[in-house]
Structures are given as C-alpha cells and as structure tokens.
Amino acid sequence: MRFKDRREAGRRLAARLAEYANRSDVIVLALTCGGVPVAYEIAEAIGAPLDVFFVRWLVTPGSEDLAMGAIATGGVSMLDENVVRYLDISNETVDEVTHRERYELERSERLYRGGLPALELFGRTIILVDDGLAAGSTMRAACVAMRAHRPAQVIVAAPVAGRATCELCNEVVDGIVCAHKTAPDPYYVVTIWYDDLFQTTDEEARELFEQSKRRGIDS
C-alpha cells in the first residue's frame, strides 16, 4: 500500500476511525508538522476539533544523537536523570537547553493556533496523529507526556508503522490505528510509503488549522 500524499493518507486512515465520529469527547492532535495534513483530514471526516501536541527533545550538548529528556505541550517536562548524572550535566546547562527548546515549542504552537489557546485535554479521548511511525521514539514520548493532562484515552493513529514500533507504543497507549501495518522490520523510513512526502511548511500547516476553525469545528 502506498499513499499519494499526507492528505490522502489521512482520508484512508479516517475510515478506520469511524467509531470516534461525532463524539463530543474526541480531540484530534497532530504530533508533528508533517502530521498536520493527516490529522486535518481525520478531524474533518469524524467531526472533531483539531489541535497540536508537540514534543521537543532536550539534546545533550556535544551529542546530537543523545537526548537527556524532552518537553511537550502544556508545560510537561521529562528528564532522564541517568543521562544527566552519567555525563555530569549541570543544572545550568539543563535549564539553558530547556529554555531554548521551550521557546521553539511555544513559537510553533502560537504560529499554528493563531493565538488561540490550547484545547483542554482532561477527560477527553485523544487521537494522536503522525504521518508515519519509524522508530516511534517521539510518539512514545508524546504518549507518556500526554498522561500529565489526564485524558480518558489516548489512541495513536498513523498511516503506516512498523510492527515492532506498534508493540512499543502499545505499552503506553490505549489503542493504535494504522492504515498499513505490514511494514518490514526493521522499519527504516516513512518516505518509501508515499509518492509525495515533501516537507509541510509552517504556512501550509497554519492554513489547515484556519480552515478547520472556519468550518465550525470546535470543542
């Protein structure tokens, strides 16, 4: 199975989420910029409000491949104390990296939402969407961070995901919905399942949010 682009992938995925249609407790959240077109089509199809839930990794200074933690929408912060202790990272460095990433996270949220406040997640059924799950580390971190908001349920939705990745995410969510689950293991890249996977720009993502609001979808 291949997808023409993210929006077609979103429409196919929405067909598998029909049980969540027209429910007042459901919110669709895009996890990444690339997840916005997919999430938009799902939100439109099931009649749910659309918002974003971002995760920013706290990259260890001097090592782009190692994270000492992460921050997420709503002021959630997670720190890997083992990494911090092992590398003897100072509190000042942790604060500096956190401040920088918090600024970028809040900038993106303001840009996408157009100044509107975040939707209330407490007690809601959350459908957390990305354009595909490769290693799944960002999605897993998002699901853990999401629990701080105390939703009723967290459902992960992606057009394509590796079997091993689904098993890892299953440990921290209430359900996973994929249009295509037969990706090979190890699961390498999302791009092979799309004809068009050009980067979604901030402007394109913001326009989709504005369209969603104009169509009267609201929490």
pLDDT value, residue 216: 60
Helix, strand and coil percent figures for the chain, each rounded to 5: 40, 25, 35
In terms of average pLDDT, the best of 2-6, 9-13, 117-121, 209-213 is 9-13
The answer to whether 12 touches 129, Cβ cutoff 8 Å, is: no
In terms of average pLDDT, the best of 31-45, 177-191, 203-217 is 31-45
Distance CA 6, CA 210 (A): 18
The whole-model pTM stands at: 0.86
Tell me: the pLDDT tens digits for 163-200?
878 887 888 889 999 887 654 554 456 778 888 878 88
Token readout for 90 is 């100072």
Band of the pLDDT at 217, cuts 50, 70, 90?
very low
Tell me: the pLDDT tens digits for 40-87?
999 999 999 999 998 899 999 888 788 999 998 888 888 989 999 999
Distance CA 132, CA 6 (A): 10
Residue range 6-53+123-214 in CATH 3.40.50.9100? no
Token readout for 182 is 């037969």
Tell me: the pLDDT tens digits for 119-174?
999 999 999 999 988 777 888 888 888 988 999 999 999 998 888 788 878 888 89
pLDDT value, residue 201: 85
